[in-house]
Amino acid sequence: MNTRPASVWIIALAACGVPVAGRAQSIDEGELVFKTRCVVCHGVNADGQSALAKIMQPPPANLRASRLNDDARSTIVRKGGAAVGRSPNMPIWELELDERQIQSVLSYVRSIKGIPP
């Protein structure tokens, strides 16, 4: 759940010229995708600390601490970890998620990292 005050996001979005309602909806959709698809490995706090993570090798990424740029993050979500020399446990989500869902989950990850949308 996003703990930033709404005013922080509104100011950041307005500065980018992005309609606030659209971005907020995208982040909310992304949170839903994350909770239904990603949380099992990355954990409820997106910190790589899930019950399953304890037995995975390599363990899932801590998305809150990840230093990947947007392009790298997008590629991993779309193509899976093995495609970029990372964990083969990371699925190829472009086979199951549509473009809107992928963009939404990427927006959600940005929001939990405190990066303006």
- pLDDT tens digit at each of 117 positions of the chain: 445 444 444 444 444 444 445 778 899 999 999 999 999 999 999 999 999 999 999 999 999 999 999 999 999 999 999 998 999 999 999 999 999 999 999 999 999 987 655
d(CA 86, CA 22): 32
Question: What is the reported pLDDT for 108?
Answer: 95
Give the CA diameter of the chain: 44
Nearest CA-CA partner of 42 in 77, 71, 70, 69: 77
Q: Between the CA atoms of 40, 45, 10 and 73, what dihedral angle is there, to the nearest 10 degrees?
A: -60
**Residue 94 in tokens:** 């472009």
Question: What is the reported pLDDT for 23?
Answer: 78
List the chain domain ranges: 6-112
Please compute, for residue 45, the number of CA atoms within 13 A of its CA located in the half-sphere on the CB side. Answer: 9
CATH fourth-level superfamily of 6-112: Cytochrome c-like domain (1.10.760.10)
22-46 burial by CB neighbour count: b if 16+ within 10 A, else e? ebbebbebbbebbeebbbebbbeeb
Question: What is the reported pLDDT for 116?
Answer: 59
d(CA 61, CA 46): 8
